[in-house]
Structure 1
Amino acid sequence: MVISSKLLDDGERVLVGTRTHVKALLLPALLLVVTAGLAGFLSTLPGGERAGTWRLVIWVVALLVVLRASVLPFLRWLSTTYVVTDRRLITRTGLLTRTGHEIQLDRISDITYEKGLLDRVLGCGTLVVSDAGEMGIRLPDLPRVEQTQLAVSRQLYRSSRPHDDA
């Protein structure tokens, strides 16, 4: 589950719950492979009595690069969630310091999506949600962005229709 049921109001139901698309991990994965390959190649070069020290330095630098370029983006991806309920849009992100943002659905004035060429190939995009008081929030690399936009639009339509008392 993308969001704990403890964070939902009574009777509130989740319409869409997701993380960013795995596309966000393509570059970190590539950097991991390149760094490991480069470190492996460079560790074969040193010779002589200081070869062990140079190999240690190479692998420590490689480890630091991998932590910064691959592990941190993976942890950010893992800790970022987007949830649309029948009442609000909820975003949560952060490793040590959590940041959350909520917009009540009845405050949303516009919801659009953007898809570049790579986004179209991979089936993701950026959802842009605007409310009356803000410029809007961008939810980048959202999987199935068109379906998410449609689900929010349908819920907005349902919420705006007058209820029949008969």
Structure 2
Amino acid sequence: MSTQQSVQQEQAVEFGSTLWNGALLMALAGVAFIGYGIVFLVLNFVGGGFELGVSHLGGMTPAQLDPTVAFYISHLHVATAAFIISTGIAVTALSWFGVRQRLRWAWATAVITAVTGLAIALPMHYIGGFAHDWVTHLGPIYLATAVFVGGVVLAYKGMSTPAQ
């Protein structure tokens, strides 16, 4: 596809159209994923607990743990934050720059990217093992996911209608 065709397709997506709104919601959810990852990262270095919604493990704070174990947990938090942030960047870019151009591969890649991360990460929270406040720990990601799903549906409907 030439650059000229790409620009024409992008311009064909009217502000406020179903496709535009869907892409916007998907991109905003991606930004929320980035924000969640940043909070996750910041709390690792300046928070009193382990992460958002987790203040202790079995009654122990990070300061009470063996320093090597605490550093290892910190290392995992940084890596997890990095992947949450990078997933958010991918979802945002694919949604805003690809979905608005009616690129189904961009829509599908954004969906697969978000669903893969959530499908792998979320079930672990329901098998026990440690106490967490699910509202503060998972609430933000569930809210972002609901926005994303709404955007996915709107964008799909918008891509299914012919360009004006």
TM-score normalized by structure 2?
A: 0.40
Task: Report which of the two structures shows the higher radius of gyration computed on alpha carbons.
Answer: 1
Between Structure 1 and Structure 2, the one with more strand by share is 1
Between Structure 1 and Structure 2, the one with more helix by share is 2
Q: Which has the higher contact order (CA 8 A, sep 6+)?
A: 2
TM-score normalized by structure 1?
A: 0.39
